[in-house]
Each structure stands twice: as C-alpha cells, then as structure tokens.
Amino acid sequence: MTLTTSSTVVQSADVVACDLAGETALLHFETGIYYGLDATGTTIWSLIQSPQSVRNLLDLIMQEYEVERERCEEDLLSLLQSLADERLVEMAPCAA
C-alpha cells in the first residue's frame, strides 16, 4: 500500500504501545517485534488512535512544529509508510 495525503490511517489493533519518558515503544503481537518512536513519532502515534487523513495529520503537525510544509509532508509520509510496511498502521475507510 502506498500512502498519499489523501490516505486515511489508523493504529493497527494488533499493536500495543507503551510510553517511555516521552517516546513510545510498540509491540506487534503477531510478529513479536518491538519498535520505537521518538517524540515526534509519539505525537503522530497519539493522533492516529482513531482514523485520520494524512492531510489532517499534516495540518496538525504544521501547527505544532516549525517546519516547511514540503519537508513535513515528505517526513510524515515516510514515517507512515514505514509503519504501514511493518503493519503497525492500517488504511482506514474514512477519516473521523
């Protein structure tokens, strides 16, 4: 699956997350593999507890961080694509 700003994503039900001093550890139940997210990744993870459009996520992150929109979009899509490739997020039918 290739994500775009028109995509909608949500956390996978097969993942449990734990806060570790501002960062997040993720465990994918099916694979037994742990993953780590830095503070920015943790912010994004918290935003996708319910389905969110990538475009909405981009807008929210732009309000939170001082970054050029093009750079933010590129980094956000890269992170979400990596999470999707590892089955930590899923495509959702519509944004909430």
Query: What domain count does the chain have?
Result: 1
Structural domain harbouring 41:
8-87
Report yes or no on 95 lying in a domain: no
Kindly report the CATH number assigned to the domain that includes residue 66.
3.90.930
Decide: pTM greater than 0.85.
Answer: yes
Distance CA(93)–CA(27), nearest Å, equals 24
Is residue 96 predicted with pLDDT exceeding 50?
A: no
Tokens of 18: 């734990």
Report yes or no on 94 lying in a domain: no
pLDDT tens per residue, range 55-92:
999 999 999 999 999 999 999 999 999 999 999 999 87
